[in-house]
Amino acid sequence: MYRSNEELFKHIFDEIVFLESETRTISEEVFLKDEKTQRAFARSIEIIGEAVKNISSDVIIKYKEVPWRNIAGMRDKLIHGYFSVDYEIVWDVAKNIIPEFKNQLIKIMDTEKKKNGN
């Protein structure tokens, strides 16, 4: 099913908001002992990665400073490495990488919205 870049950005943003909200309410220590939260974080990162894989190539090329390939790659590692997920890395991504990606995404969404006259 085709989704517009705008829809994909919204899906990504929703998952980022979830991850940021959760990382504010729990510590890494609690996270590493809570399998449900670990799975929720992994799923959010998978959704983000899947959405990134579907963003149009012109946007990917236009915003080269965003680590699109790394984000999509994290999704692939989670999807295909289900027996060997390192949840310390998942925590690090949620806590340290996702906030920077959010800032980049907000700028992209604003720029694309202006470009499209919205």
Select which of 11, 39, 43, 80 is catalytic. Answer: 80
75 given a catalytic annotation? yes
Select which of 3, 11, 69, 75 is catalytic. Answer: 75
80 given a catalytic annotation? yes
C-alpha dihedral sign at 29, 30, 36, 40:
negative
Q: How far apart are CA 98 and CA 92, in angstroms?
A: 9
Specify the amino acid at residue 14.
Answer: D
**Cβ neighbour number for residue 61 with a 10 Å cutoff:** 9
Considering all CA atoms of the chain, what is the largest pairwise distance in Å, rounded to the nearest integer? 47
Calculate helix-pair angle for 5-25, 35-54, nearest 10 degrees. 160
Q: What amino acid positions are annotated as catalytic residues? A: 75, 80
